[in-house]
Amino acid sequence: MLSFECDYNKGAHGKILKRLAETNEEPLSGYGSDKYCTMAKEKIRASCQNPEAEVHFLTGGTQTNQIVIDAMLTKYQGVIAAETGHVSQHEAGAIEFTGHKVITLPHTEGKLAAETVRRCLEEFYGDENHEHMVFPGMVYISHPTEYGTLYSLRELEELSALCREYGIPFYMDGARLGYGLASRETDVALPDIARIMDVFYIGGTKVGALCGEAVVFTHHNTPEHFLTTVKQHGALLAKGRLLGVQFDTLFTDNLYMEISRNAIETADVLKKLFKEKGYRFLLDSPANQIFIVLENDRLERLKKQVNVSFWERADEGHTVVRFATSWATTMEEIEALEELL
């Protein structure tokens, strides 16, 4: 059985397991105060080319979204997101659980346009009764988006300028950030993100780690007593070393970018393959997720030999499925898939 259903179906990069074993016997202090966390933060700051960046490690993506959003919003604010945003759809109400509304806006291939956000903000402040409504207090985007698409540098800067104009933070969910950065079609590098965004996270779970996301506050804007907030949310890992060692490894010798490129290279081969064989693409996706429109009976046959991800019904006879590559996808797997297609 081949596995192309997601980018988190294998364990961790070998170097991570090796470092976990090497450091295993050392007694280390808890809750993220160990030296590996410190080293990892330093390396992330360097990769970001932002010496002011403050880095915190959390375990998973929904947890990170919940905590960052809850920590940065005041109690009467909500977060603006695309209708297709992970926080809008697939986090079981984790944002509302903390008392905050997700204010959803229309999207284009998973992306929020600055113009759309501006209209929302203008309408809100233009409404005489806006004090009876949820204040928009943050803009959330994912990059790559849930549709595998990427913001251009210019689009990010437009959204950022708009957020500054309205005095609200701009937050990027980077669950798959590595794959976005490694795309051949992007003009956005990590230092750009660390300059443009108010806060973002560098996904580990989907890019080589067993678990872990690195939240980066870019201009000394970590919310006060953030550790207490993390604890209050049940998210403070006692053995912070598990996150520190992993991110220290990922940010040593450029490993994070190197393994991200593997996902892009294997995806590129796969895209070429689909193109040659005349498959229909839902959209042009520049990173590691490929959305293909399949006839239903063909999908049924395929599913017997390949795990793919159901995305949405296209029409009566067709279904959109997602093929995802990852840091761990091998050319052998691609070739095996080629045989089947």
Window 67 to 126, contacts with a copy of itself (CB under 8 A): 67, 70-71, 74-76, 78, 89-94, 96-102, 104
Is 135 an interacting residue with respect to a copy of itself (CB under 8 A)?
yes
Q: Which range, of 148-156, 165-173, 238-246, 277-285, touches a copy of itself by CB under 8 A?
A: 238-246
Name which of 16 and 159 has its Cβ closer to a copy of itself.
Answer: 16
Mapping DSSP to helix (H, G, I), strand (E, B) and coil, where does residue 290 land?
A: strand
- Tell me the site size for a copy of itself, rule CB under 8 A: 79
Q: Which of 30, 106, 191, 317 is close enough to bind a copy of itself by CB under 8 A?
A: 30
Q: State the nearest-atom distance from the C-beta of 64 to a copy of itself, in Å.
A: 8
Using CB under 8 A, which residues numbered 212 to 231 contact a copy of itself? 224-225, 227-229, 231
Name which of 159 and 324 has its Cβ closer to a copy of itself.
Answer: 324
Q: Which of 112, 106, 137 has the alpha carbon at shortest distance from 124?
A: 137
Is 237 an interacting residue with respect to a copy of itself (CB under 8 A)?
yes
Q: Which of 27, 51, 167, 278 is close enough to bind a copy of itself by CB under 8 A?
A: 27
Number of H helices, E strands in the chain: 14, 13
β partners of residue 281: 292
**What is the Cα–Cα distance from 309 to 320, expressed in whole angstroms?**
9
Peptide bond before 106: cis, by omega within 30 degrees of 0?
A: no
What tokens does 47 get? 């990769």
CB 129: neighbour CB atoms within 10 A? Answer: 6
Tokens 């005489």, residue located: 128
Q: Which range, of 13-21, 40-48, 166-174, 250-258, touches a copy of itself by CB under 8 A?
A: 13-21
Q: Which of 51, 167, 238, 339 is close enough to bind a copy of itself by CB under 8 A?
A: 238
Using CB under 8 A, which residues numbered 262 to 281 contact a copy of itself? none
Q: Which range, of 42-50, 58-66, 107-115, 257-265, touches a copy of itself by CB under 8 A?
A: 58-66
Name which of 102 and 202 has its Cβ closer to a copy of itself.
Answer: 102
**What is the Cα–Cα distance from 290 to 59, expressed in whole angstroms?**
26
Strands (DSSP E) found in the chain: 2-3, 54-58, 77-82, 102-105, 135-142, 170-173, 199-203, 213-217, 280-281, 289-295, 306-307, 309-315, 318-324
Write the interaction track for a copy of itself spanning residues 151-170; mark x where CB under 8 A is met and - where it is not: --------------------
Name which of 180 and 204 has its Cβ closer to a copy of itself.
Answer: 204
DSSP designation for 276: H
Name which of 43 and 100 has its Cβ closer to a copy of itself.
Answer: 100
Using CB under 8 A, which residues numbered 176 to 205 contact a copy of itself? 205
Cβ atoms of 104 and 82 within 8 Å: the answer is yes
Cβ atoms of 172 and 194 within 8 Å: the answer is no
